[in-house]
Chains A and B, each alone.
Chain A
Amino acid sequence: MANSITHPRPRHTWLTDVARFGLLVRDAIRPRATPFNLAATVVLSLGLVVTWIRFTRGLGATTNLSDNYPWGLWIGFDMLCGVALAAGGFVLAAAVELFHLERYRGFVRPAILTAFLGYVLAVLGLLMDLGRPWAIWHPMVFWQPHSVMFEVAWCVMLYSTVLFLECLPSVCERFRLRRTLALVRRAMLALTVVGVVLSTMHQSSLGGLFLLAPAKLHPLWYSQLIPLLFFISAVIAGLSMVILESTLSHRLFHSQVADQRPADVDRLVIGLGKAASVVLLVYCCVKTIAVMKAGTWNLLPTPYGVLFLVEVLGLGLLPCALYAHAARVGSATLTRCASVLAILGVVLNRLNISVIAFRWNEPVRYVPHWMEVVLSVALITLGLVAFRWIVNTLPVLGARPTLTPDHGEAVSSKAAPSRGAVSGNDDGHAPSKEVSTCLRSPL
């Protein structure tokens, strides 16, 4: 009895309930409170606020778009850059599924996942930017095949579907859907061919949109070859993104790629860099031809000429040389540096064409509204968070399939359990220490 007086049993009140719930929430949040997660939460919340304002007060309240600059950051960056940087999906799929460059198979799944996320984000950006996003299905019904935008609309829709289907094998493996897996595997060749065809049309038609703007786009950038240039530079962006991404994956998810030796990956990365170098050289040549055809050499010693040279020499020819040199001396680090430059080059090119060199002689220029910037950053953050979640849930990064259509449990004995653990202990494995670090890695 004395005990009960000195240690009274805690009374069960709503206050203690709240406190207990608070403790539960704290325990759930604390291990995930990495700097990246905190920053992502802030950015995504801001993004939601911007979305709310966009859909209640309109484009005028959230953007600096005007009648002279009808396309801003959401089209120039989210759409054009997002789609270009997603080109790795079709490039790697073609290399492995069509051209039998089997040694690059390990890159295919992450590349296709990146491509799919890139397209999803581009479409989200488009939904923000379209004046009437609820009418986005109209091009499917009200045809106007003489419009490049019509082609863009169809290709985005079809290719997103293809990318989704190409992503399915990892989903099937994770959830042991053997029959679906067999079906998707059988369709993979056809899907890849369709994907390459759609990408060719789509990447080039994004450039083709600007064929109608000879009176508005700076002459150094306007060219009849702009669709071709968009296609080639998309291949560059795709290859460079795969290189960069493999680097990041190995830093951030190394437990999942433990069966890949860094030296092997470096060799493959250098191989991709070699290909990117060749494509960059072709790109620079076509770019030169475009300027020669237009006869706009005299515009080079102007501010826009300098910008053009920065884009073509600094972020085109330089990464080309770096890639080539890296392949000669066998330096994967150099290849990775070159990939960053090449990606920046493609981004600058898209921004130049859609925003910076568009209506270049207008006295009042477009400068993005801070809410446009916030939303673009939020979309990128969303992409990173989604990538991390999917990679931690589905077998994407490891080189080996974890399930085959016919023979049940497959090759990888090392990668599978760790994935199961990451995805929430369905398989009864406790998360290894390695995996928990991976979850909390400061991506």
Chain B
Amino acid sequence: MATNRRDFLKLLGTIGAAGAVGGQAHSAPPASSARPDAWAMLSDLSLCIGCRKCEFACKQANRLPNRPMEDFEDEAVFEKTRRTDRHNLTVVNRFEAPQPGEKAVYAKIQCMHCNEPACASACPVAAIRKTRQGPVDYDPSLCIGCRYCLVACPFSMPAYTYDEPFAPAVRKCTMCFDAVSRTGGAPACAKICPVEATTFGTRHELLVLARDRIHRNPDKYVDHVYGEHEVGGTNWLYLAPKSFAELGFRTDLGDRPYPELTEGFLSAVPLVVAIWPALLLGAYALTKRHEAASRGATPPLPGAVELLGAERTPTRAIEAGPQVRTGSKGK
């Protein structure tokens, strides 16, 4: 790994010596590390009709407590903006129409399957991992339940089964990784979507498709594919008829992959291990000589220093200390 001067300064900054001068963030967005043939999803929010069949199918596929499909037609849930939780790995929220008189905009949210996931870099036991195919998968048998992934996820998608005492787990969309890799086909939500608002494909072809749709209907879409560059790119891509900020998407996350945020700090660890003992032992040797010189003797063995020191303590303290106004403490 090539380290330039700025990186090195940053490193020092993290350790502490040069805290003041360190730490310029990477300014240029890094090239997306996603494989072009990675699995991906494209959700076109201009097509979504808010039928919430994807929510039904998702619960079905993940064996979560479900209700009959008719229940999902109830529009009352749209009154509040919801987030994903332990029973809902994907949720559809309703937002105002871009123009008065047009249909409302519905936004389906779920795990974004980042190219470089914050949750996977946070997990101390690799229970969450980025699969070679693209989806971000979770293995509950490794999980210790520290919930750092919930803290780390910039999209706040993972949820936790707090009500489960004996085998609590993180719950998040896995892009139906097991089912799709076993039997092929598409994830449940894409399969059931009646208007093909959510499409399954490779990341490359979906990006081409998204760009093509924007190109053909420049009035219908904002000129932005959400997920192309956000936090280093994600495997879930979005097209929208109005600005993403108004659809509950965070637009302040930047293009830098999240794992880079801790990279500098973690690379300082070996330096601390290497440098600290040397510095500390140097200080030990120096102060020992100083001690010895001040007593006009050769430095004795460490064990002896300790014992002598203990003997000597009270008198030295009295000689060396400043003038004291004793506090008001009695016996």
Interface residues of A (CB under 8 A from B): 55-61, 63, 65-68, 70-71, 94, 96-100, 102-103, 105-106, 130-133, 135-136, 138-139, 142-153, 185-186, 188-189, 193, 196-197, 200-201, 204-205, 208-216, 224-225, 227-228, 231-232, 247, 250-251, 254, 260-264, 266-268, 270-271, 286, 289, 293, 327, 329-333, 336, 399-401, 404-405, 411
Contact = CB atoms under 8 A, between A and B. Distances in A.
A336 B327 contact: yes
Contacts of B303: 185-186, 405
B151 A153 contact: no
Contacts of A209: 148, 151
Nearest to B144: A135
Contacts of A331: 325, 327
A136 B150 contact: no
A285 to B, nearest CB: 8
A270 B147 contact: no
Interface of B: 10, 13-16, 19-20, 22-23, 25, 83-86, 118, 121-127, 142-148, 150-152, 154, 156, 158-160, 162-169, 250, 252-253, 258-259, 261-266, 269, 272-273, 276-277, 280-281, 283-284, 287-288, 290-291, 302-303, 305-307, 309-314, 316-318, 320-329, 331
Nearest to B312: A102
Contact of B16 (A197, A212, A213, A228): A228
A254 B284 CA distance: 33
Contacts of A135: 142-145
B287 A99 contact: yes
A404 B306 CA distance: 10
A98 B287 contact: yes
Which of B152, B288, B302, B323: most chain A CB closer than 10 A?
B152
Given A146-B266, A149-B148, A225-B23, A102 B309 contact: yes
25 contacts: A58-B162, A58-B168, A59-B162, A70-B160, A71-B151, A99-B287, A103-B317, A105-B306, A131-B160, A132-B144, A132-B167, A136-B144, A138-B125, A143-B126, A147-B124, A149-B123, A196-B280, A212-B151, A212-B258, A214-B261, A216-B156, A224-B22, A267-B317, A330-B323, A400-B311
Nearest to B269: A201
Contact of A139 (B20, B125, B307, B331): B125
B280 A131 contact: no
B12 to A, nearest CB: 10
Given A138-B142, A215-B154, A289-B20, A58 B164 contact: yes
Which of A60, A215, A231, A331: most chain B CB closer than 10 A?
A215
Given A70-B150, A105-B310, A212-B152, A271 B321 contact: yes
Given A131-B169, A224-B264, A331-B327, 16 more contacts: A59-B165, A67-B150, A71-B151, A103-B313, A136-B144, A139-B144, A142-B126, A144-B124, A145-B266, A193-B280, A216-B151, A264-B314, A266-B324, A267-B318, A270-B322, A293-B23
Given A58-B165, A102-B312, A146 B329 contact: no
Contacts of A196: 276, 280
Contacts of B169: 131
Contacts of A142: 125-127, 142
B94 to A, nearest CB: 18
Nearest to B157: A67
A68 B159 CA distance: 8
A214 B83 CA distance: 20
A37 B68 CA distance: 58
A411 B150 contact: no
A275 to B, nearest CB: 13
A99 B284 contact: yes
Given A67-B83, A105-B309, A146-B121, A224 B23 contact: yes
Q: Which 4 A-B pairs have the closest CB atoms?
A: A131-B145, A267-B321, A58-B165, A333-B327
B1 to A, nearest CB: 13
Nearest to A103: B317
A228 B162 CA distance: 33
Nearest to B264: A224
B322 A330 contact: yes
Contacts of A139: 124-125, 144
A99 B164 contact: no
A232 B252 CA distance: 30
Nearest to A329: B325
Contacts of B331: 254
